[in-house]
Amino acid sequence: MKKQVLFAAAAAVMMLCSCSTITHTATTEGVDTEIYNRSNAALDVASKKITYTYQPDASHRRAGKKAVLRAAVAKALEANGDGDVLVAPQFEVKETRGLFTTKIKYVTVKGYPANYKNIHATSAEEAQVVNILDGGQVIINK
């Protein structure tokens, strides 16, 4: 009888101990490890507006609408002379809606292709202008 009571008490203690939750938190100090290397470049924008219609495949549709729009811009630039960036893009998206899903049929993108040229490191004067435009303090050296 004593063994049964002792065994039941031990089993009850084990069951109560195994159901506890332990939470441990720690605070950390943020370390600023960003390195800024600003470069400047001129943008050579074409005067002719391009139009491209992109029909996304299933992998791009699964990645979401933003991924489809980025892919449409990339394909438009690739098809029209390998530009670096599309200036003033305009999108027309054709979607079909189902009961639970929305499927993008096609995206028509319009814009001006542009290429970067004259890429160079930022000079001290340019850095001061960028600092002022970003809302930084104005530093005047006398």
Q: What is the pTM of this model?
A: 0.63
pLDDT, residue 72, reads 95
- Alpha carbons 140 and 142: distance in angstroms, whole number: 6
37-51 tens-digit pLDDT? 678 888 999 999 999
Nearest to 73 by CA among 96, 95, 91, 47: 91
Kindly tell me if the per-residue pLDDT of 61 is higher than 90. no
Question: Domain locations in the chain?
Answer: 39-118
Percentage of the chain exceeding pLDDT 70: 82
- Tokens 């791009």 locate to 60
